[in-house]
Structure 1
Amino acid sequence: MKIALYNLTTTTKRGGIETFNWEMAGALARRGHSVCIYGGKGHITGDVPEGVSIKTYPYLKRTLVPDLGSRFRKFVERISFGILAFANLSKEGFDYIYVSKPYDIPLTLISSRLSSAKLIYGSGGTEFFPGYGFLAGKVDFLFACSGFNASQIEEYCGLRPKVLYNGVNTEIFSPRPPDMELKRGIGIKNDEAVIISACRLVGWKGIQYSVKAVSSLVRKGYRIKYLVIGEGDYRKELESLSKALNTEGRIIFPGSIKNSELPSYYSIADLAVFPSIADETFGISIAEAMACGVPVISTRTGGIPEVVGKGAGVLVPPADEVALTETTEKLLRDKGLRESLGRRGREWVVENFRWDRIAEVFEHHIAEGNGET
């Protein structure tokens, strides 16, 4: 198959959708497909997977678009990119064009019809707008990043997508010996348990509940260092909360850490906590921690139970500080349980979310849709 992975931000920023495009391109190329990434003019190319080509085009940044709403600005930004990419996209003879944002459907739909390519839209959330259902109904293949996300789309517009999960690079995110130099650099003593959360620091990630849980355990005498990795608008509030709870020395905010460096942090972790209170459609950070063999506590909301799997982690109700505290304490007290969960979590991610597996499911959905199975 000759496939275009079309997404403006793949080459202009880092994030979940961008990682999906880079990793999926590499996985498909390894399976013998011809893959081209279409993105905006930017400085990010990463390690270009072997067998993958890249085409970039200028675009009008959304900050320069009149503020008639964030979705209007996104739409105009992507249309400006699409107009310049359109001619090449239409003449390259692709079998499939894969888009990651609904704003890209109009122009790529026209391009696909002119070139006889089939159009795929892979949803990663709920960016609904008037006309979403009409456009989604016109694509040849509709995917969602989880069963939960598929249900959201079905409820909104009556269309039921196939599920194509996000993936994890299980070679980068894998168990490794503890990075003792890192541990010493942070100031963690050998008798201190290490808990990690890695996410965007916004209110709906629920870190305020894990801060309170850690504070409760510290007051009970547990020696803990809690690393809250990430940046966001909520960081100052979390730091203030930590100070108010007298846990400043116990809760550390290292800031943003490169994805390639996260496995080193997970290597020194006894436990990873992801206390989201929102209906997240997937939870890639959770899967990455599990891939590193770290036992995970998260919440029973959105698509998270699909990520954690049965018996591969522990789920508590969202916004339940007591349940989170009790579960964290239980795991800190039971090394055998932590080791068992870490092992099963790694197995679950390798089985279900490694990139070659995601590419295999993609191929199956395409073959099934074309009547080849």
Structure 2
Amino acid sequence: MRIGFIDVTITTSYGGIQTAVWELAKSLAALGHEVFLYGGEGTIRHDTSGLAMTVRTFPYTPREKVFNLGRRFQRIWERGSMARYAKKTVAEDNLDWVILTKPFDFFWPHIMPHGSKTRFCYMSGGTSFFKFDRKLSARIDAWVACSQFNAWQIQHHFKQFAHVIYNGVDTVKFQPAANNIRQQLGIKDDHFLLVFAGRLVGWKGLDYVIKSLALLNDEKVRFLIVGDGEYLTKLQSQVKNLSLEENVIFHDPVKHEELPAFYNCGDAGIFPSVGDEAFGITIAEAMACGKPVIGSYIGGIPEVIGNEGTAGLLVSPGHPERIADAISQLIENKDKRLTMGHNARQRIEDLYTWKHSAQRLLKALGK
């Protein structure tokens, strides 16, 4: 089949959705399909050597330059501005399916030429809903979600049944491996290192981890935060106020291909979201590196980690006491920690690779 992905951001920024599109596209191409990626004019590219993939970029108006009538309005305008230049090419590429990643792009089926054979699938990774999106969704032919929780969100809002394909992990890139990151950061062998990587926004719940470190009062616990965002200054102030400068290490964002080394330098991953995370690719990536993880019992996170306590520990969101208890469990039982890390890697290999995702998507498309 000829399959296209349309998202202005896939060639202009990094993030979970962008990673999902590139990795899923590569897996589809590896399965023998011809894949097209349509994004905004930008420099971001992933390695697609040897695969039947075509990347096309088009001019667009960045949301920051759109009159502020609300963030959703700005994002719709941004995507519509690209469509103005891209629609002729998309039509001429004569695709069998187009995958849309946001409801903001639901206008695409309505602007295709009359008689076009192209069908449209919405691949959900969250809840970017807006007024009138239900009406625009009438021409979406297939619905897929990244978790059972996310499928419920789609059912609740759009009254549509979404096939669950789950996100995946590149298990070749993300795998256990030795490195010297700990030494570079000045972290001793007898320190217990927790690692988080991602955007620093309030709903990620990192302030609760910092509070839990104050409760633990263990000078050998370290918390490495890799990322940037609007919450950085607040987190830094919190660390200073609690006198945890020796315990918490802030690190600039790194490229996606550099992330495995940072997960591998730690003893456990920690992802204490207080918002409805639809899946949690970063959690799965840490698990693929053979690390036990601590995550919140919210959204799709339990589906990634599992409820059995064999690959990681689930805690109530927003409760530093529960986080402190989970950290203590991992510190006190090294054998259990190592076994959980092994199980975490196995769980990802068995359930959450991009090949799995691609095969589930094809099934949802009736192929």
Q: Normalising by structure 1, what TM-score?
A: 0.94
The one-letter amino acid paired with 1:149 is N
CA distance in 1, matches of 2:172, 2:92: 36
Aligned to 1:188: 187
Superposition deviation, residue 288 in structure 1: 0.6
The one-letter amino acid paired with 1:53 is T
CA distance in 2, matches of 1:38, 1:290: 31
Aligned to 1:18: 18
The one-letter amino acid paired with 1:12 is T
Contact 2:149/2:278 (CA < 8 Å) preserved in 1? Answer: yes
Unaligned segments of structure 1, at least 5 residues: none
Contact 1:298/1:315 (CA < 8 Å) preserved in 2? Answer: yes
> What pairs with 1:332-347 in structure 2 (closer than 5 Å)?
332-347=331-346
CA distance in 2, matches of 1:107, 1:67: 23
Q: Deviations over 1:180-209 (max 9, x none)?
A: 3x2211111122111111121111111111
Aligned to 1:32: 32
Between 92-101 and 289-298, report the one with greater CA deviation.
Answer: 92-101
Aligned to 2:107: 106
Contact 1:263/1:292 (CA < 8 Å) preserved in 2? Answer: yes
Aligned to 2:82: 81
Q: Deviations over 1:240-268 (max 9, x none)?
A: 11112111012100121222111111222
Aligned to 1:301: 298
Alignment match of 1:288 (pick from 280, 285, 288): 285
Aligned to 1:62: 63
Aligned to 2:127: 126
Aligned to 1:156: 157
Alignment match of 1:270 (pick from 267, 270, 280): 267
CA distance in 2, matches of 1:190, 1:198: 21
Q: Deviations over 1:100-131 (max 9, x none)?
A: 11121212443276421111111111111122
Q: Deviations over 1:248-307 (max 9, x none)?
A: 012100121222111111222111111111111111111110010000011100111111
Aligned to 2:350: 351
> What pairs with 1:221-240 in structure 2 (closer than 5 Å)?
221-240=218-237
The one-letter amino acid paired with 1:246 is S
Alignment match of 2:243 (pick from 234, 243, 246): 246
CA distance in 1, matches of 2:17, 2:234: 28
The one-letter amino acid paired with 2:301 is I
Contact 1:97/1:112 (CA < 8 Å) preserved in 2? Answer: no
CA distance in 2, matches of 1:128, 1:299: 24
Residue aligned with 1:137, SS = helix
CA distance in 1, matches of 2:281, 2:54: 26
The one-letter amino acid paired with 2:198 is C
Q: Deviations over 1:33-69 (max 9, x none)?
A: 0111111111112323522111111112222222111
> What pairs with 1:322-333 in structure 2 (closer than 5 Å)?
322-333=321-332
Superposition deviation, residue 16 in structure 1: 1.2
Between 33-42 and 307-316, report the one with greater CA deviation.
Answer: 307-316
Aligned to 1:314: 313
Contact 1:112/1:118 (CA < 8 Å) preserved in 2? Answer: no
CA distance in 2, matches of 1:168, 1:309: 16
CA distance in 1, matches of 2:159, 2:361: 22
Superposition deviation, residue 141 in structure 1: 0.4
Contact 1:90/1:114 (CA < 8 Å) preserved in 2? Answer: no
CA distance in 2, matches of 1:170, 1:202: 27
Aligned to 1:2: 2
Aligned to 1:203: 202
CA distance in 2, matches of 1:251, 1:63: 33
Residue aligned with 1:39, SS = strand
CA distance in 1, matches of 2:271, 2:263: 13
Say what the alpha-carbon RMSD is for the aligned residues: 1.5
Residue aligned with 1:277, SS = coil
The one-letter amino acid paired with 1:146 is S
CA distance in 2, matches of 1:113, 1:294: 52
CA distance in 1, matches of 2:75, 2:55: 22
